[in-house]
A and B are shown apart, each in its own frame.
Chain A
Amino acid sequence: MIEIPNMLQCCNGVMSREKTETDNNLAHHGVAASSFTALYEEHMTYVFRYINYRVGNRNEAEDLTSVVFEKALAAFHRYDRKKAAPQTWLLTIARNTVTDYFRKSSKRSSLPLESAVGIESADPSPQEETERREEYEQLRVCLATLAQREQEIISLKFGAELNNRQIASVLGLSENNVGTVLFRAVCKLRNCFKDWSNEKR
């Protein structure tokens, strides 16, 4: 439970209690709002990146990020920082949300062309821009060929920027196992990307 200072003092009458309770509500709201805003500002980007790696579609990643934070808001009063670090808590919600999304939509990581629209580059030439988009698209193709657990670990590492110990904690794996799977997954991505580059030439 988030610790919110109890400002409700002793009440000697209905009027004074009402006044104090109103103050308390305001204070409660202020503390909860600022705590939640801080949580949002600090972790939103990581949650979005994690989801974007998983679903491979910017629009859907934004929708699911909204769902995650709405769920987090609804459960915020029950959240106990002592039991889980904020990022672990949010990413657990995000993982479940993505899993639900895949189950409901019977989809796996998708690769729509429009996902590349958001790529930014410092004044690239049209040719460079095209190459960047192709590379980006191919990375997504390669990512989608990985096993679910590998995608999960890649997303938690590159998207959420968790260290291996944190990933192990989120996934219930050993830290060693995370390191092994991560390295192999990146090697698979590298090989997939290399094959594509060679074919392109």
Chain B
Amino acid sequence: MKKGKYTEKQFIEYLDRLLAGEEISLGDDVSDEVRSALELAKKMLAYRDEPSPAFRANLRDRLLRKLAEEEAAAPARREERRDWTAKLFPQSLVWRAATSAALVVLLVVIGAIWYAGRYGQMSAPAPAPPSPMLEGDYPVSLPSNIVPEHVAFMADTALSAKPGQAQVYEIQGVDITTESVTELGKRLGFSGEARFIDGGAKIAMFGGEGEDMRELIVWTASGAIEYGYVEPDKLYPPYTPGLPSQEEAELIAYDFLQQADLLPPGYEDFARVEDEAAVIAGGSYSVGERYAEETVQQAPAYWLVSFPYRVDDNWTTGPGSNIEVSIGDGGEVARLLWSWRQMTPRTTENIISQKQAYDALIQGEGSLDIPLNCEQVVVEDVQLKYWINPPSEKQDYAVPVYEFTGRCLDKSGRHIEDFTAWTEALSKAY
């Protein structure tokens, strides 16, 4: 494992134990850097403010009073409506039935007269039934928008002003059981039975011992899979790893998915996805020029093979849009992130134009998270993609979003870091 990554991991482990209230004793393998960082962390915890008991109690009482007032207002409003209808309609059951029947007949007659007047002399077919769902019924959980004040936006790409249409997809529910995970585990070389962990959010299997211990985790909400070695040394070996060529890594990753029966439909032929699979160097820092003085460029610790994740011909985006296999030392599969979801077309909806989406982004209606010292956002590309939630979240629909990519510049025009931003694409006007 690379020293920097190992140090980070060690620090996080100790910090989480501190936060859990454990008394920690640091081992001999803990560097001075981690020790001093943990000392600082202890100070941060020691000086942590707590809400005062008076504030806690007052706020609780105020909230409960408000809740009670709102609840009391609701039946009063219903009561007013009932009083009004009671005056209009008689209370006896016989009379109520007779009045209701008369009302129904009246409505049918009015409807028939209206329909004849509206369509009687028209030869055109009846209008298409309305869209089964209204806008807003397809929520998109984009990350929060965090944009410093006084940021200037510039589009360094042509933005189409033409609105269009796009498909909304229904994501099929998954039925993840300990049996299904056990079956998957067998295909990946695990033995034994899978079991629920993390309060039922995941089903997991473990196999091997020591540094060869592997885990298989399946999220019950989405069916997303995480597989790999528990100890990070397989991804970050303390020696220079013997990596296969990038082409070989791509084939190894593909074969692994095929053997685990994890190739999405349409991906059965390697030649069809070969050109779109991306291989990047894993294990070297890439955290932008903000940290340039701390960035150390090193040889890759593993190859990260990323397979295309599309819905029909459209790309997906978001934290759950991964089919990634990491190939480490000796061509071994060290990690898998797989969050593919089965979808079927549901309906076609109107979408806003790229220009409208860009305007929305400028108005703060999108999702953009950039550093505080970013003075100018330069949008270099915009694409329509489908948003996929994190593996921990169930998602009913895949909805189109506009994805903006570009650069963030500081006040002297220096490139600070790249950014990716999103805005919703569905039109609010249909």
Q: Using CB atoms and an 8 Å cutoff, list the residues of chain A in contact with chain B.
A: 13-14, 21-22, 25, 28-29, 32-33, 36-37, 40-41, 44-45, 48-49, 52, 58, 61-62, 65-66, 69-70, 73, 82-84, 92, 95-96, 99, 103, 106, 108, 115, 118-119, 132, 135-136, 139, 147-149, 152, 154, 157-159, 161, 163-164, 168-169, 171-172, 174, 177, 179-184, 186-187, 189-190, 193-194
Expressed in whole angstroms, the Cα–Cα distance for A167 and B143 within the complex equals 12
Please report which residues of chain B, range 124-179, place their CB below 8 angstroms from some CB of chain A when the two chains form the complex.
Answer: 141-146, 148-149
| Interface-central residue, B12, B15, B142, B373, by most chain A CB under 10 Å | B12
Interface centre among B33, B75, B373 (most CB of A within 10 A): B75
Sorted from nearest, which 3 A-B pairs have the closest CB atoms? Answer: A172-B143, A148-B372, A190-B40
Known: A25-B75, A103-B149. A183 touches B37 (CB 8 A): yes
Residues of chain A with a CB closer than 8 A to B144's CB: 92, 95-96, 99, 171-172
> Do the beta carbons of A13 and B93 come within 8 Å of each other?
yes
Tell me, in angstroms, the Cα distance from A25 to B36 when the chains sit together. 57
Digit string of B346-376 for contact with A (CB within 8 Å is 1, else 0)?
A: 0000000000000000000001010111000
Measured between alpha carbons, how far is A82 from B33 in the docked complex, in Å?
Answer: 41
B414 at interface (Cβ–Cβ under 8 A)? no
Q: Which of B16, B39, B66 contacts A163 (CB 8 A)?
A: B16
A89 to chain B, nearest CB (A): 11
Nearest CB in chain A: distance from B80 CB, A? 14
Shortest distance between the CB of A168 and any CB in chain B (Å): 8
Known: A96-B144, A180-B285, A190-B37. A48 touches B71 (CB 8 A): no
Interface set, chain B 63-103, CB cutoff 8 A to A: 63-64, 66-68, 71, 74-75, 78, 86, 91, 93
Indicate with 1 or 0, residue by residue over B201-242, a CB within 8 angstroms of chain A CB atoms. Answer: 000000000000000000000000000000000000000000
**Could you say which of A36, A92, A135 contacts B67, with CB atoms under 8 Å apart?**
A36
Complex CA–CA separation, A147 to B417 (angstroms): 13
Residues of chain A within 8 A of B287, CB atoms compared: 177, 180-181
Cβ of B45 under 8 Å from chain A: yes
**A residues less than 8 Å from B19 (CB atoms):** 157-158, 161
Shortest distance between the CB of A82 and any CB in chain B (Å):
6
- Chain A residues, Cβ within 8 Å of B37: 183, 186-187, 190
Q: Are B59 and A69 in contact (CB under 8 A)?
A: yes
Establish whether residues A69 and B49, one from each chain, have CB atoms under 8 Å apart when the complex forms.
no
> Given A32-B67, A82-B394, A65–B143 Cβ distance below 8 Å?
no
Of the A-B pairs whose beta carbons lie under 8 Å apart in the complex, a sample of 10, sorted by A's number, is: A22-B75, A32-B67, A45-B51, A62-B55, A108-B372, A135-B47, A139-B43, A157-B15, A177-B287, A181-B287
Q: Would A83 and B60 be within 8 Å (CB), given that A147-B372, A171-B369 are in contact?
A: no
Are A106 and B56 in contact, CB atoms less than 8 angstroms apart?
A: no
Please determine whether A48 and B45 come into contact, CB atoms closer than 8 angstroms. no
Q: How far, in angstroms, from A49 to B19 measured CA to CA in the complex? A: 13
**Docked complex Cα distance between A154 and B48 (Å):** 12
Q: Within 8 Å of chain A (Cβ to Cβ): is B290? A: yes
Complex CA distance for A154 and B149, rounded to whole angstroms? 22
Q: Which of B3-11, B259-267, B271-279 contacts A (4 or more CB under 8 A)?
A: B3-11
Q: Are B43 and A135 in contact (CB under 8 A)?
A: yes
Evaluate contact between B64 and A44: CB separation under 8 angstroms: no
Chain A contacts for B308, CB-based, 8 A = none
State A40–B64 Cα separation when bound (angstroms).
10
Query: Please, what's the 1-or-0 string for B29-51, where 1 marks a CB less than 8 Å from any CB in chain A?
Result: 00001001101110111011111
Cα distance A115–B149 in the bound complex, in angstroms: 26
Q: A49-B48, A179-B12 are in contact. Are A147 and B40 (CB under 8 A)?
A: no
Whether B294 pairs with A184 at a CB distance below 8 angstroms is yes
Alpha-carbon gap, A29 to B73, bound state (A):
12
Q: CA of A73 to CA of B404 in the docked complex: distance in angstroms?
A: 34
Give complex CA distance A25, B76 in Å. Answer: 11
Verify if B412 is at the interface (C-beta below 8 Å from A).
Answer: no
Q: List which B16-33 residues lie within 8 A (CB) of chain A.
A: 16, 19, 33
A78 to B113, alpha carbons, bound, how many Å?
41
Chain A residues near B50: list those with CB within 8 A: 45, 48-49, 118
Chain A residues whose CB sits within 8 angstroms of the CB of B392 once the complex forms: 169
Q: Are A28 and B71 in contact (CB under 8 A)?
A: yes
| Contact A83 B393, CB 8 Å, known A139-B44, A171-B369, A179-B12 | yes
Which residues between 377 and 402 of chain B lie within 8 Å of chain A, taking CB atoms?
A: 390, 392-394
- Chain B positions within 8 Å of A194 at CB level: 36
**Further contacts, 12 of them, CB under 8 A, given A66-B59, A190-B39:** A29-B68, A37-B60, A40-B59, A44-B60, A58-B49, A96-B144, A148-B371, A154-B44, A158-B48, A172-B369, A184-B291, A189-B40
Which of B36, B51, B66, B86 is A190 in contact with, Cβ under 8 Å? B36
Q: Are B371 and A147 neighbours in the complex by a CB distance under 8 Å?
A: yes
| Distance between B377 CB and nearest chain A CB, rounded to angstroms | 15
Among B36, B48, B390, the one with the most A-chain Cβ atoms within 10 Å of its Cβ is B48
A96, B285: Cα distance in complex, Å: 30
Bound-state Cα–Cα, A147 to B171, Å:
38
**Other-chain residue from B43, B56, B369, B394 in contact with A193 (beta carbon distance below 8 A):** B43
Contacts of A92 in B (CB 8 A): 144
For A180, list chain B residues within 8 Å (CB): 8, 285, 287
User: Cβ of B192 < 8 Å from any Cβ of A?
Assistant: no
Is B200 in contact with chain A by the CB < 8 A criterion?
no
